[in-house]
Structure 1
Amino acid sequence: MKKTLLRLARPVFGPLLNRLPVRWRFAAYLRAIRCESQLPEKFVFKLAETREELEACFHLLHDAYVDAGFMKPDPSGLRATVYHALPTTSTLLCRAGDRVVATVSLVRESAMGFPMQRIFDIAAIREAGGNIAEVSALAIDRRFRSASGRILLPLLKFMYEYATRQFDTDHLVIAVNPRHIGFYEAILCFRRLKQRPVDHYDFVNGAPAVGAHLNLYTAPTAFRRRYGRLPPEKNLYDYFTGDSLPNTQWPTKRFYTTTDPVMTPALIDHFFNQRTQAFATLRLRELMLLHSIYDLPDYKSVLPPVPADAPRSEMRRRTHRRFSVRCPGEFSTRQLGIRRTFELTVFECSATGFRVHSDNRLPAGSTGTVILELGAADWSVMLVTVLRLGSQDRHIALVRIDQDDLAWRKFVGALGKAQTHDDLGEATRFV
């Protein structure tokens, strides 16, 4: 490629491209695209899981942000924010041999929210329903930026697949420098938020920012319209929606959970207390939310203590903790002597019940049997009652468990005690 995607996004080109009509801007970026489905074996795309991988990602991000003027150099040489500490954040990476050469993070909405909601109004996106995740912390090693076709596009494909297949995400949002927004609009089909650009975004050292949104439900249609008739090397529709690259390594899971927490108490202490001062700058509400999210004793010992005079309203704990999952199943009941069966997907659960989505509305008030696939080799059969349907979405239902089974008790017991996604592989150890 004579020009790479990243070179087009540099300050020299970005402002000029953003002033071009959309059609011309798209043509300029399209010339730089080359989809490669056969990559050298040395390139691997995966979740950052180990201390070494996370350290390499945070170091890469630090250097890229310092170069771009998005942060001042930190003595640690790392950029690790409180959002990286959350169990609802996944840091993805590209490795070339033993070297981490690119990274991007997905911050799914949680009690602490995500960075850009401080400055952008996303109420309309929330009203559409579904989980929202912010694309954040994208960085590529400067020595590999000329290989964007082998790193940037595959990394974005992995991010797209991870968000849609494993992270139970319906919407992606992003806050980017105005000189980069053209790439996300023209190539990835993001749409700008109606809110005007922000002149001063504290999260990136006061740089300006533009907000944008991609609806993952409608994204395939947008990709098909824009790329469906193009040759394979330019066809991002086939590239993003087709099979995973052989270079992709998916996290190993026993159960169908939709988050991949990797931060053990030791890793949290290392990155956010010892290597950086991320926890030292927490506001009181953030600190209290962090304690409510990490409510296991091992985590409490590495979190900054909550002041004795702080209000405790933010730290109230549910009687039954809720967990984010994506478990397919079916519900069977009898109505007027006729047996009816409904396919459904459990997306949130606790020890005593769960919320489901079903294409065919479940009959409120009905009692029956539910069969759930908890993982590739784990099944549960229980007696349940459909309590009520969602007030806004009638395809969502709240279900009460009337009689559980051993598989379900092991399932929720493991979710309640596990620290990371690896712990779930030894689920029976926790019950």
Structure 2
Amino acid sequence: MNSSTLHLPAAAVRAVQDHSTRHANVAPRGPQEIACGTLSGEQRFAISVVPGGAQRAHAAQLLQRMYAHRGYLGVQLPPEGARHAVTLVAHENEQTVGTLTVGFEQQGRLLADELFAEEIDRLRDAGHRVCEFTKLAMDPMLSSKRVLAGIFHVAYLCAHRVEGQDRLVVEVNPRHVAFYRRLLGFAPLGPERWNRRVDAPAVLLGLDLTHARREIARVGGQPERAAVERSLYPHFFAASQEPAMATRLANARGERQAVAHQGFWSSVLEPLEDAFEALVPGHGVRSATV
């Protein structure tokens, strides 16, 4: 796949562990943490907007490791503070176990437009607001269905509740189509195409986000129903938790963009200030504030 392809079933079908879950009232820690809960054995997990520094580096390393295992090289997280993307990270007991990026249109296009512009344009022409999930990687030795559902739930909130998107697209390998259709309700949107850059097939799937909204309201927060429902939605958080989660998500995204905006102008202005200081010593901005 290209860098937008979701790397899921190796973790979600073959190796994701089916932990039993207690829905304890666990409080988020810090402004970047959006949602959290507990797994069996009192293990804590949390879903956050990926910050900078070491946590971002750990998410990037996980992404590269999981994609390299499949032969997909050169995959990177979006630039820090990018307005067209929100990268999420999942932790279990402070250890990075997953990452997922929500992608929005940049200059009217998504990453998936590279192969599937015709199919996505049909959605746009019908009046839909389209986003994509990309760069999904879950550590198969550490992550659980509950954590996988949690990161999907926060990504859904970001796309649908915070940003107002109503259609989601993903690019997957054809052998993973059944997983997305059965557990999340995706439907194929077009024929299989060959991605020449990575020499692999790709299929575009789509999801009506109002379907996800209905399923979360119906069975979210009820993992005991997973065996009967045979979907991932019972492992999502309860719908009653969504308002607080959406508020934290909007705040976290706003803080990230403010920091990125400040960093951008600092990178532009500081060299100019240095040049002015060199020409007129003692009259630069930093000199005036000392």
- CA shift, 1:242, in A, is 2.3
Out of 200, 212, 220, the residue aligned to residue 207 of structure 1 is 200
Alignment partners' CA distance in 2, 1:44 and 1:224: 21
Aligned length: 236
How does 1:290-309 map onto structure 2 within 5 Å? Answer: 297-298=265-266
Unaligned runs of 5+ in 1: 14-31, 73-77, 268-295, 303-431
Out of 73, 76, 80, the residue aligned to residue 77 of structure 2 is 80
Match of 1:127 in 2: 125
Out of 41, 44, 48, the residue aligned to residue 42 of structure 1 is 44
- Counterpart of 2:168 in 1: which secondary structure? strand
Match of 1:97 in 2: 93
Match of 2:32 in 1: none
Mapped pair 1:244 → 2:246: no
**CA distances 1:85-137 after superposition (whole Å, capped 9, x unpaired):** 62120001111233211000000112162211011021121123243211000
- CA shift, 1:214, in A, is 0.6
- CA shift, 1:34, in A, is 7.3
Match of 1:181 in 2: 177
Structure with higher RCO (Cα < 8 A, 6+ apart): 2
- CA shift, 1:237, in A, is 4.9
Mapped pair 1:253 → 2:251: yes
* Identical-pair percentage: 21
- Counterpart of 1:175 in 2: which secondary structure? strand
Unaligned runs of 5+ in 2: 1-7, 24-37, 271-290
State the one-letter code of the partner of 2:63: L
Structure label with greater radius of gyration: 1
Distance 1:217 1:142, change over 3 A: closer
Alignment RMSD, CA only?
4.0
Q: Which has the higher helix share?
A: 2
- CA shift, 1:182, in A, is 1.3
State the one-letter code of the partner of 1:51: G
Alignment partners' CA distance in 2, 1:299 and 1:53: 23
Alignment partners' CA distance in 1, 2:132 and 2:209: 13
Match of 2:273 in 1: none
Alignment partners' CA distance in 2, 1:125 and 1:192: 13
- CA shift, 1:58, in A, is 1.2
- Counterpart of 1:151 in 2: which secondary structure? helix
How does 1:9-408 map onto structure 2 within 5 Å? Answer: 9=13, 36=21, 38=23, 39=38, 40=42, 42-71=44-73, 79-81=76-78, 86-111=82-107, 113-120=109-116, 121=118, 122-144=120-142, 147-193=143-189, 195-200=190-195, 202=197, 205-221=198-214, 232-234=225-227, 235=229, 236-237=232-233, 239-240=235-236, 242-244=239-241, 250-251=248-249, 253=251, 261=257, 264=260, 297-298=265-266
Q: Is the 8 A contact 1:34 1:233 kept in 2?
A: no
TM-score (norm 2): 0.66
